[in-house]
């Protein structure tokens, strides 16, 4: 098969927000402890308790924003337990009943964001918290003066931090809320009044309302009708599953048909964004309120021998293909989707990084984000994904270059692509491919570079055309000077 992509008459339009490549880290399993935080006295190299190898890896992929502390965990999190010298442990009823030490709290989170160069996205506890608790937290983080600023200074940070995004509640339709959309809308209208700006020199806080449970279109319609004028974004969560919720497949050793079922599930993101977007546009035709996909990724069985509640799963070339496909879907809807946060950064679900003691490996999904970082804040020319087509892609323009990312989702067949540009193009300044022979190829601590980026040379440039041959289950990114 050869797919023809003709962009000769297309001009760059919508900007591809860098926030589409955001991350999410929750207090879950070893996502924080062991994955990000090892403590200042650890033999593992760290900066103020935060793993240096993880920070260096995340800096490389230019993480634009990091959501924290949850997720479900945020529904039981009380921020004052996680500051100062004497911290109150918490029984983590959200994820496995383990004891949460609260060693990693607000100060450590903002230190992490500063170390990796990411902006902050805080989820406040609407389920078991109070408005007063939230306002104290926001004051602690952002106020230049006042009692909470004094408390912050006492804990070692005199100047305010920069906070950009605030999520008012998380999955309030679920187990730690059980709210109706009408009730949540009224509650959100009240709470958001107190999401206040304490530092006039910072950008206005971007308020994110709790969105629907996957395909609950009524929730979107009701919340947009009753509360959209008071929010900047509405969240959406969708995870890729190989089958029904209670029949999640394993990350490795799966049957070929499970590749197809996971791909089908992942591609539903396109449908969900479109359908929720229609409901949002009815109340907000100019898309002032952005769709914030702050949880997404592959949710598979935990690795054998690990705690099921800790959601640790291996990461294969299949996950990489699913990640590239999803990023291309986000680009396709870049006029509506303002941010996305893959779940999760380290050791949990579809992670960028896996750690084991002092050891660290990069996953195939990490390399996808490494390739796609060149699209951050570029001008979109065209993005495409369709359920019946093995090829999906994003083509953008930035700094006098075309940036082309193409994914071949076919697990068995190679495919060719021809792209016709508006004018003569030059030899790529960057050309990488991610590919593996086995459908469950992954990196392990014994073989940490089994799946990694390689130079891509299987292309030809003829005047204004690029002809590229794509191996099965592969992702290619090229930067082509005009």
Question: What percent of the chain shows pLDDT beyond 70?
Answer: 99
pLDDT for the residue numbered 11? 80
Is residue 80 scored above 90 in pLDDT? yes
pLDDT for the residue numbered 176? 84
pLDDT band at 203 (very low <50, low <70, confident <90, very high): confident
Contact predicate 383/12, CB 8 Å: no
pLDDT for the residue numbered 49? 98
pLDDT for the residue numbered 247? 65
pLDDT band at 9 (very low <50, low <70, confident <90, very high): confident
Q: Which of 372, 405, 373 is CA-nearest to residue 391?
A: 405
Other CB atoms within a 10 A radius of the CB of residue 115 amount to 18
* Distance from C-alpha of 283 to C-alpha of 228, rounded to nearest angstrom: 8
Q: What's the average model confidence in pLDDT over 248-265?
A: 93
Is residue 244 scored above 70 in pLDDT? no
Over the chain, what is the mean pLDDT? 96
In the numeric block, which tokens belong to residue 283? 């109340």
pLDDT band at 246 (very low <50, low <70, confident <90, very high): low
Helix (H, G, I), strand (E, B) or coil at 268: helix
pLDDT for the residue numbered 190? 98
Question: What percent of the chain shows pLDDT beyond 90?
Answer: 92
Q: Which of 351, 401, 345 is CA-nearest to residue 375?
A: 401
* Distance from C-alpha of 88 to C-alpha of 141, rounded to nearest angstrom: 20
Q: What's the average model confidence in pLDDT over 77-93?
A: 95
Q: What's the average model confidence in pLDDT over 387-402?
A: 95
Is residue 129 scored above 70 in pLDDT? yes
pLDDT for the residue numbered 245? 53
Is residue 125 scored above 60 in pLDDT? yes
Which of 108, 171, 258, 397 is flagged as catalytic?
171
* Distance from C-alpha of 127 to C-alpha of 75, rounded to nearest angstrom: 5
CA 357, distance to chain mean position in Å, is 25
100 is catalytic: no
In the sheet that 415-420 helps form, which strands lie side by side, from edge to edge?
A: 2-6, 415-420, 465-470, 459-462
pLDDT for the residue numbered 1? 84
27-60 residue pLDDT tens: 999 999 999 999 999 999 999 999 999 999 999 9
Which of 26, 100, 295, 397 is flagged as catalytic?
295
Q: What's the average model confidence in pLDDT over 4-11?
A: 89
Q: What's the average model confidence in pLDDT over 82-107?
A: 94
Is residue 199 scored above 90 in pLDDT? no
171 is catalytic: yes
pLDDT for the residue numbered 202? 80
pLDDT for the residue numbered 243? 74
Q: Which of 153, 126, 146, 148 is CA-nearest to residue 137?
A: 148
Q: What's the average model confidence in pLDDT over 403-410?
A: 98
Contact predicate 418/5, CB 8 Å: yes
* Distance from C-alpha of 376 to C-alpha of 352, rounded to nearest angstrom: 18
Residue 336 C-beta-side C-alpha neighbours within 13 Å: 22
Residue 149 C-beta-side C-alpha neighbours within 13 Å: 11
Q: What's the average model confidence in pLDDT over 254-271?
A: 95
Tell how strand 391-398 and strand 378-384 pair up: antiparallel
pLDDT for the residue numbered 200? 78
* Distance from C-alpha of 385 to C-alpha of 320, rounded to nearest angstrom: 16
* Distance from C-alpha of 71 to C-alpha of 73, rounded to nearest angstrom: 5
pLDDT band at 431 (very low <50, low <70, confident <90, very high): very high
| CA distance from start to end of the chain | 27
333-384 residue pLDDT tens: 999 999 999 999 999 999 999 999 999 999 999 999 999 999 999 999 999 9
pLDDT band at 197 (very low <50, low <70, confident <90, very high): confident
pLDDT band at 467 (very low <50, low <70, confident <90, very high): very high
Residue-range domains of the chain with CATH: 17-377 (3.20.20.80), 391-481 (2.60.40.1180)
Helix (H, G, I), strand (E, B) or coil at 418: strand
């Amino acid at each position: 098969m050869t797919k023809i992509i003709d962009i000769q008459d297309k001009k760059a339009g919508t900007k591809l927000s860098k926030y589409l490549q955001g991350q999410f880290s929750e207090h879950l399993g070893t996502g924080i402890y062991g994955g990000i935080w090892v403590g200042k006295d650890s033999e593992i190299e760290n900066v103020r308790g935060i793993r240096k190898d993880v920070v260096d890896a995340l800096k490389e992929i230019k993480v634009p924003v990091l959501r924290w502390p949850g997720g479900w965990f945020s529904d039981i999190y009380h921020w004052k337990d996680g500051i100062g010298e004497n911290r109150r442990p918490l029984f983590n009823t959200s994820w496995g009943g383990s004891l949460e030490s609260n060693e990693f709290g607000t100060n450590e989170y903002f230190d992490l964001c500063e170390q990796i160069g990411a902006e902050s996205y805080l989820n406040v506890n609407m389920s078991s918290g109070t408005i007063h608790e939230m306002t104290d937290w926001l004051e602690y983080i952002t106020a230049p003066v006042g009692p909470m600023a004094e408390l912050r200074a006492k804990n070692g940070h005199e100047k305010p931090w920069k906070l950009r995004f605030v999520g008012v509640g998380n999955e309030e339709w679920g187990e730690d809320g059980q709210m109706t959309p009408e009730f949540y809308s009224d509650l959100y209208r009240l709470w958001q009044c107190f999401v206040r700006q304490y530092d006039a020199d910072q950008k206005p806080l971007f308020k994110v309302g709790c969105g629907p449970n996957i395909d609950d279109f009524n929730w979107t319609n009701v919340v947009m009708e009753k509360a959209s004028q008071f929010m900047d974004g509405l969240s959406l969560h969708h995870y890729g599953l190989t089958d029904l919720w209670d029949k999640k497949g394993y990350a490795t050793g799966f049957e070929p048909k499970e590749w197809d079922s996971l791909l089908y599930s992942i591609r539903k993101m396109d449908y969900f964004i479109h359908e929720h977007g229609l409901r949002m546009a009815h109340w907000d035709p100019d898309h002032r309120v952005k769709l914030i996909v702050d949880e997404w990724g592959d949710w598979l069985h935990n690795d054998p021998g690990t705690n099921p509640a800790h959601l640790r799963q291996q990461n294969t070339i299949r996950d990489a293909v699913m990640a590239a496909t999803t990023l291309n879907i986000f680009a396709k809807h870049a006029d509506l989707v303002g941010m996305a946060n893959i779940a999760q950064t380290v050791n949990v679900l579809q992670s960028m990084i896996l750690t084991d003691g002092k050891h660290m490996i990069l996953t195939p999904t990490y390399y996808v984000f490494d390739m796609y970082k060149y699209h951050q804040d570029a001008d979109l020319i065209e993005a495409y994904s369709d359920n019946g087509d093995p090829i999906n892609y994003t083509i953008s323009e930035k700094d006098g270059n075309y940036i082309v990312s193409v994914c071949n989702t076919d697990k068995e067949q190679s495919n060719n692509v021809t792209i016709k540009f508006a004018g003569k193009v030059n030899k790529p300044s960057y050309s990488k491919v991610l590919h593996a022979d086995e459908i469950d190829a992954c990196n392990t601590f014994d073989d940490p570079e089994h799946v990694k980026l390689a130079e891509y040379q299987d292309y030809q440039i003829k005047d204004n055309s690029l002809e590229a041959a794509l191996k099965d289950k592969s992702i290619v990114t090229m930067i082509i000077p005009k």
